[in-house]
Amino acid sequence: MLYHFIQRIMLANGHRKLTIYADNCGGQNKNKCVIKMLLALDQTGELDVVELKFFVTGHTKNAVDRGFRLMRKKFANEDMWTADQLLELFRTPVTEAYKDLKGVQRYQIFTLSEKKPGVVFCRVGPAKPAYGPRPSTVF
């Protein structure tokens, strides 16, 4: 999946720097296969810079983990044979975990802060006042 993302999304859109943040799970993220694949992409010139950054052990419980927990529950009970089925599996927990941001197309600038978790401040443009807070999560 990572390789597919790099090839089909990143490189296809001209991005040549990759930064990955991951937890310290050796079986999933911090393993030789992932590092060797990233090294090969760097050495072949497909990517200019690759950064693989790991969270400090014990500090990896966050909203992303909650989302993956929801997906893992759904994944265990579903048969998936195509990439579209997998994408739908990811869409469902996001829809359940986050409210829709009404009128998102009219805004140009979105500000999120760890000081106000779950809140999205929206602005039409740089000189316009912020509309918000717009609560976006239901956690």
Banded pLDDT at 52 (limits 50, 70, 90)? confident
Look at the alpha carbons of 108, 93, 24, 44 in this order and tell me if their dihedral is positive or negative. Answer: negative
Please give the Cα distance from 49 to 43 (Å, whole number).
10
Indicate the burial class of 97 (C-beta count within 10 angstroms; 0-12, 13-18, 19 or more).
middle
The answer to whether the bond into 133 is cis (omega within 30° of 0) is yes
* pLDDT for residue 56: 66
Output the pTM of the full model: 0.42
Q: Is the pLDDT of residue 69 over 80?
A: no
According to DSSP, the residues that pair with 111 across neighbouring strands are 121
Query: Tokens 């740089």 appear where?
Result: 126
Q: 54 vs 18, which has greater pLDDT?
A: 18
